[in-house]
Amino acid sequence: MTRPGANVRRVRDPSVSRYTAGRLSPIRRVADLRRLRDEQFDVLVIGGGVTGAGAALDAASRGLKVGLVEARDLAAGTSSRSSKLIHGGLRYLEQLELHLVHEALTERGLLSTRLAPHLVRPVPILVPLPASAPGARVWHRAYYGLGVAAYDAFAGLFGKGRGMPLHRHLTRDGARHLFPSLRAGAVTGAIRYFDGQVDDARLVVNLARTAASLGAAVATSARVTGFVREAREVVGVRVRDLELPDAPEFEVRARTVVAATGVWSDDMSQMLSDVGVRPGLRVRASKGVHLVVPRSAITGEAGLILRTPTSVLFVIPWGGHWIIGTTDTDWHLDRSHPAASARDISYLLDQVNTVLERPLTTDDIEGVYAGLRPLLSGEADSTSKLSREHAVVEPMLGLLLVAGGKYTTYRVMAADVIDRAVRRLGGIAPESRTDQLPLLGADGFPAAWRDRHDIARRHGVTAGVIEHLLERYGTMTTHLLAMIAADPEMATPLTGAPEYLAAEVAYAALAEGALHMDDVLTRRTRISIETSHRGTESVRHVAAVMGQALGWAPEVREREIEHYLARVEAERQSQKMPDDLTADAARIGVPDVRGFAADRGSSPAVPQSPEDAAISDAAW
């Protein structure tokens, strides 16, 4: 019997650095698709969200031979549309779900200190104490104070790796000093605590790249259309390359298939409906909408957490912006492009305006995004491990489904599902070791951050540029600086979004697996939600840089621009619609870029062979 993962070493040439091996370049995509066609994998993961990318990394780091296929782009589903908090969940504390709080705070500490300190950092958040009668005031302070103290205690008060400063009580003046936009009379004081903040889409790309650096084959625009079965066992999947819609589907063979498809989990079960298996779990979608407003619209040095009639509302600083969210409503329409309606937007404005001195209006809004929570909805059978947070089930031999949970605890979900896979494979692989495995760019980050002024001086750029790059790429910043050294044009700020550099667009295409403009403007950068033009003023500059990196013909470049502009317009229209039905109808007029590209011409946007890629693998 072949030992699982026995040929991992054949996949990764030891003379190639881990960084080079983790580069998701166009050439790498061609090679990985070939591997997916030709080889048999120990574990094949479906879904490149945080759960799937985390599972691929967990399996690859145990020495297993791993493939990861994602229908659209990495993090194109829910994992780029969250509140971007790495948190224990004060709400769970209130519900006395203490083990969940402890688990999530442990993950928060690991991510912010060891695994991804370049991507996860502390963000201060105020719990405002509402204005009320003196007796109630004492009660509020005691109640919330105890809660936040317990939160800190669960994170390991004196333990190493807590990763966040401790909480502090503030008087009314103290609260308004830290957050001058708080309406006078709305609060009697506040408690300031810390949670982690992350660029959710970038962490997913980093997970996938780290998995790739350990030998995983990673392909985006690769949609699973069905399972390959032998007798009553799943032995692989059928895949369609969405960049080549006329090409025939191909099979990927795997000893275990892991579906980490979030709100698409029920689709996986339906692919087995002909053999009458019970899915074991069901997932329903709940829509959450966020608004992005400029930092100047609200004056404050910390975020806010507010109670709403149905849930909680966060107002979180995000670079030069604030993120305000979220809603929580059932969603039964298009899952690829959930639409925010005018009703969602006015609900959020009404909620946040209850505590603001100057009320926000729709004119303040720069960006809007909507995501779908994958919520478990029962059907746990005896083979399942169902907690309130996530579940792993095996509806058919050879297929594991993992769903639910939250972004913060992706590593726990990943370890759970790969433990099950390893048991299936005969238990030969070791236990999960991802708690010890810094992601690419994390090693050496504290020293690089400390030396950022020197680095800036050496490279002739401002310290602000280096800070921006370090917080997005960690120590892989050196790759971008090498690109700039080779071609000074790469240091040009992007038109309409000058905090981003041309080098970031080229790097996204050459090393971060971005295939389309949408991938760059929406997920590798956040230009689509951080500018009031929503990227339309940057689109030509981005197309020029990306087109050069990927060797786009003029018609491909125009097609990409046309799609992006149409997408933005459809989103704007949907946000004027009164409800979900009309907003969805306005949004789905423009399909996903992958489908759109296929409809409009035969030139693929993505190189199909190493010779097609305009820029060969660079020295970095």
Ligand X SMILES: Cc1cc2nc3c(=O)[nH]c(=O)nc-3n(C[C@H](O)[C@H](O)[C@H](O)COP(=O)(O)OP(=O)(O)OC[C@H]3O[C@@H](n4cnc5c(N)ncnc54)[C@H](O)[C@@H]3O)c2cc1C
Interface residue list for ligand X (CB under 6 A): 46-52, 69-72, 76-79, 81-85, 87, 223-224, 260-264, 288, 326, 371-374, 405-408
Please name the residues in contact with 581: beta carbons below 8 A apart, sequence gap of 6 or more.
333
- Residue nearer to ligand X on the CB measure, 21 or 416: 416
- Residue nearer to ligand X on the CB measure, 47 or 535: 47
Is residue 224 classed as helix, strand or coil in its secondary structure?
strand
Please name the residues in contact with 231: beta carbons below 8 A apart, sequence gap of 6 or more.
none
- Residue nearer to ligand X on the CB measure, 81 or 162: 81
| Of 303, 400, 340, nearest in space to 584 by CA | 340
CA distances to 224, 287, 288, 341 from 330, in Å: 26, 6, 9, 13
Widest CA span in the chain: 75
Bridge-based pairing state of the strands 120-130 and 303-307: parallel
Beta carbon of residue 454, minimum distance to ligand X (angstroms, whole number): 35
- Residue nearer to ligand X on the CB measure, 79 or 522: 79
Beta carbon of residue 88, minimum distance to ligand X (angstroms, whole number): 10
- Residue nearer to ligand X on the CB measure, 252 or 483: 252
The answer to whether residues 144 and 185 touch, using CB atoms and an 8 Å cutoff, is no
Per the structure block, which two tokens stand in for 177? Answer: 């000093």
The answer to whether residues 24 and 513 touch, using CB atoms and an 8 Å cutoff, is yes
Beta carbon of residue 189, minimum distance to ligand X (angstroms, whole number): 26
- Residue nearer to ligand X on the CB measure, 290 or 557: 290
The answer to whether residues 501 and 491 touch, using CB atoms and an 8 Å cutoff, is yes
Please name the residues in contact with 479: beta carbons below 8 A apart, sequence gap of 6 or more.
19, 473, 507, 511, 620
- Residue nearer to ligand X on the CB measure, 20 or 408: 408
Beta carbon of residue 570, minimum distance to ligand X (angstroms, whole number): 19
- Residue nearer to ligand X on the CB measure, 259 or 613: 259
Beta carbon of residue 303, minimum distance to ligand X (angstroms, whole number): 12
Beta carbon of residue 220, minimum distance to ligand X (angstroms, whole number): 9
Beta carbon of residue 13, minimum distance to ligand X (angstroms, whole number): 28
**Amino acid identity, residue 355?**
V
CA distances to 39, 509, 612 from 607, in Å: 22, 11, 5
Q: Where are the beta strands (DSSP E) in 328-430?
A: 329-330, 367-376, 385-386, 390-396, 399-404
Beta carbon of residue 321, minimum distance to ligand X (angstroms, whole number): 16
